[in-house]
Amino acid sequence: MKPNQQLETSKKNQIQNMFNAISIEYDFLNKLITFGNDIKWRKKVYTIAKENSPKNILDIATGTGDIALELANIEGAKIIGLDISEKMLEIGKKKITNQNLSDKIDLALGDAENLSYSNGSFDIITIGFGVRNFQNLIKGLNESKRVLKENGKLIILESSVPKNYIIKFFYLLLSRAYVPFLGLVFSKDKSAYRYLQKSAETFPSGHAFVEILKNCGFKNILTQRQMFGAVSIYIAEKQS
Ligand SMILES: C[S@@+](CC[C@H](N)C(=O)[O-])C[C@H]1O[C@@H](n2cnc3c(N)ncnc32)[C@H](O)[C@@H]1O
């Protein structure tokens, strides 16, 4: 789905404008939306990535760079954080400079669906809350696979919908009221938070997303559900 169905502009263009518009408040509102659990989830992504002792990591849809910053704790790893929103990257760049991590993390403006890197460039690719914003999900996943090394891992952190009916009922009640409410109170772009909530609800999750990864040719796919299934971490390998 697009942030604004009435506009004829492409989803990519709308997403880029939307994240440029909400970049200043993004980190603060992200904490409120996730009840501060985002820190814990990023640490899990870091722990999974570290297992492979990666040297080259690409963090796609890096936004303000929080996953890239966490990955910088992996000894000997170099991280590229890529995003289509220059305003999100501007905030990320400030954090990296403040933490003296410019020699470990490089932030680059670029599109997940048209990566400029050669085949087999990265040991690990991470994508945090990014895939549901891709214009062409399959193209984005195939590009990730292309630039991953053989046996490399793709780690995706994404919103999902709880399976249990009772938990799902409370999840929908909370997210349909709480996320748009936060947007209404704290943001100039209220429609952005309606889109973020709706896209989280409608994006394929769990088994459906695993099937998509399988169809793209990924192997050994694991799912780790977080916060009663409101968020999932998918780990998929590139193997011929
Ligand atoms: C919800 S933010 C997630 C930021 C960060 N990964 C995090 O976990 O907080 C989603 C990001 O995906 C980026 N994005 C969406 N489509 C993209 C694409 N095709 N290529 C690169 N970045 C993209 C947006 O610009 C935005 O910064």
- Residue nearest (by alpha carbon) to ligand 1 atom 25: 85
More confident residue, 212 or 182: 212
190-201 confidence digits (pLDDT tens): 888 889 999 999
Query: How far does residue 139's CA lie from ligand 1's centre (Å)?
Result: 15
| Model pLDDT for residues 61-91, shown as the tens digit of each residue | 999 999 999 999 999 999 999 999 999 999 9
What pLDDT shows up at residue 240? Answer: 80
Summarised one tens digit per residue, pLDDT across range 30-47 is 999 999 999 999 999 999
Predicted pLDDT of residue 2: 86
Residues with CB under 6 A from ligand 1: 12, 15, 19, 30, 60-63, 66-67, 82-85, 88, 111-113, 128-130, 133-134
Out of 14, 129, 198, mutate this one to test ligand 1's pocket (max ligand atoms within 8 Å of CB): namely 129
Give the 3-state secondary structure of the chain.
CCCCCCCCCCHHHHHHHHHHHHHHHHHHHHHHHCCCCHHHHHHHHHHHHHCCCCCEEEEECCCCCHHHHHHCCCCCCEEEEEECCHHHHHHHHHHHHHCCCCCCEEEEECCCCCCCCCCCCEEEEEEECCHHHCCCHHHHHHHHHHHEEEEEEEEEEEECCCCCHHHHHHHHHHHHHHHHHHHHHHCCCHHHHHHHHHHHHHCCCCHHHHHHHHHCCEEEEEEEEEHHHCEEEEEEEECC
pTM of the shown model: 0.96
- The pLDDT value recorded for residue 76 is 96
What is the percent of the chain where pLDDT is above 90?
84
- pLDDT band at residue 57 using 50, 70 and 90 as cut-offs: very high
What domains lie within the chain, and their CATH numbers? 11-238 (3.40.50.150)
